[in-house]
Amino acid sequence: MSKLQYTFKTDTLFKMLFVQNQDLLRKLVAVLLRIPLESIQEFVVRNPEIAPEMLGEKFCRLDINMIVNNQRIDLEVQVANEGDYPERVMYYWAREFSSSLAAGQSYSTLPRTIVISIIDFNLFSCAEFYSFFQPLEATRHTLLSDKMGFQFFELTKLPDDISEKDSLLLWLSLFKANTEEDLEKIRAMEVPEMEQAINAYYTITASPEFREIERLRAKAKHDEAQALHHAKQEGRQEGISERNIAFAKTMIADGEPIEKIVRYTGLTKKEIEELA
């Protein structure tokens, strides 16, 4: 099997591909929201650019934020489970929802806001790959408001056998694909939008713009790892020094000779004299 260097889960590729091919993005969103494609009358990508300053940040968000029929839709792809993903998406939702109210407007004008997460790990202890959350009364399950919504698609739970007639599973299988064989298996089903998406994938990954963005992202990750390593080393050395100083003070109090304290602690004669 030929492992893909980049996948549909690669954040830079995900953003570039669907922003540059918004007809595909519209089809994807329609499938994820489970609404007819022709029902989408308003479709605006609110953050199409990948800001250069973001590329130096290892943990930057490369989401796609949209207005779809007067709804705020935030589409996220998350590969690693860092243990706080539900809290993170609630924060994303709160920031998006609250920022959409202009000064002087009524709270009733706040738009329905949904965060869609395509994730490559198990988040919930259930067999279903799709989960949808809204605020409900705990006993009666009465809906408080339809203006809050969280959709989760867990790629790890997708079935192995997928029909060319199941649009949702076809789209999700693109994100799950990790090898060229996976992509070609989807292409062989001869579904036009799947072929279009795969062709767009190869076009984007071959482009100089994408290669440069990935170079900057890889450099940011390397720099972050180096900084973390140095911080750990400095912290370790600081801990050793503190222990040696404490040991030296004890030996000084016990009346040990300076030469012996130097030999046991690694401190200099001058440092020991200053402690004394």
| pLDDT tens track for 115-147 | 999 999 999 999 999 999 999 999 999 999 999
Domain identity same for 192 and 227: no
The tokens describing 54, both together, are 């973001």
Q: What pLDDT is recorded for position 86?
A: 95
Domain identity same for 163 and 66: yes
Closest CA to 222 of 106, 54, 58: 58
* Last residue of one domain, picked from the residues 164, 181, 206: 206
Q: Is the pLDDT of residue 46 over 90?
A: yes
Please, which pLDDT band fits residue 56 given cuts at 50, 70 and 90? low
Domain identity same for 175 and 43: yes
DSSP annotation string for 75-132: EEEE-S--S-HHHHHHHHHHHHHHHT--TT--GGGPPPEEEEEEESS--SSSS-SEEE
Do the bridges between strand 64-68 and strand 43-45 make them parallel or antiparallel, or are there none, so unpaired? antiparallel
Question: Edge-to-edge strand order for the sheet containing 64-68?
Answer: 43-45, 64-68, 71-78, 113-119, 148-154, 130-133
Residue 1 domain-assigned (yes or no): no
Q: Is the pLDDT of residue 241 over 80?
A: no
Q: Is the pLDDT of residue 99 over 70?
A: yes
Q: Is the pLDDT of residue 53 over 70?
A: no
Closest CA to 129 of 176, 183, 71, 91: 176
**What percent of the chain is predicted at pLDDT more than 70?**
88
15-24, 143-152, 260-269: range with lowest mean pLDDT: 260-269
Query: Whole-structure pTM over 0.85, yes or no?
Result: no
DSSP annotation string for 177-190: --BHHHHHHHHTT-
Instruction: Give me the domain span that covers residue 81.
Output: 11-206
What's the CA gap between 139 and 160, in Å, rounded?
37
Give the number of domains in the chain: 2
The residue-averaged pLDDT of 9-24 equals 94
Beta strands in the chain (DSSP E): 43-45, 64-68, 71-78, 113-119, 130-133, 148-154
Q: What is the dihedral of CA 100, 105, 107, 108, to 10 degrees?
A: -100
Q: Is the pLDDT of residue 225 over 70?
A: no
Domain identity same for 69 and 153: yes
Q: What pLDDT is recorded for position 256?
A: 75
Domain identity same for 233 and 127: no
* Terminal-to-terminal C-alpha distance of the chain: 68
Domain identity same for 56 and 84: yes
What's the CA gap between 169 and 129, in Å, rounded?
10
Q: Is 233 helix (H, G, I), strand (E, B) or coil?
A: helix
Q: Is 153 helix (H, G, I), strand (E, B) or coil?
A: strand
The residue-averaged pLDDT of 16-21 equals 95
Please, which pLDDT band fits residue 60 given cuts at 50, 70 and 90? low
